[in-house]
Amino acid sequence: MTTSKPKKIKAKDFDQAFESGEVTHYLNLKSAKMRYSIHRISIDFTQNILDEVDEEAAKIGVTRAALIKIWIAERLSQLHD
């Protein structure tokens, strides 16, 4: 199996490729690593809270879990301002 280096490209051309969804062949995905390890947790919520979270998540087009992560990250960011 041969591995090739990602092609070199100018920033403006990369932006255009990104916008058209044709950017992956410019990236070396084999060397990509997660910056932080992930830890799974479990939290219990009432159905009313989950309904409200789901409603807000649908408004911006993300999953319930993604919205909860966004909200927590925003709150932590406010604490450090």
Amino acid 23: pLDDT: 74
Report the C-alpha gap between 13 and 20 in whole angstroms. Answer: 11
Parse the chain into domains and list their residue ranges.
1-33, 36-81
Amino acid 2: pLDDT: 52
CATH for 36-81? 1.10.1220
Yes or no: say if 71 and 60 are a contact pair by the CB < 8 Å rule.
Answer: no
SS3 content of the chain, % helix, strand, coil (to 5): 55, 0, 45
Q: For residue 67, which of 52, 77, 79, 81 has the smallest C-alpha distance?
A: 52
Yes or no: say if 15 and 6 are a contact pair by the CB < 8 Å rule.
Answer: no
Report the C-alpha gap between 28 and 77 in whole angstroms. Answer: 31
pLDDT tens, the chain, 81 aa long: 455 665 677 888 888 887 887 777 777 777 777 788 889 999 999 999 999 999 999 999 999 999 999 999 999 999 988
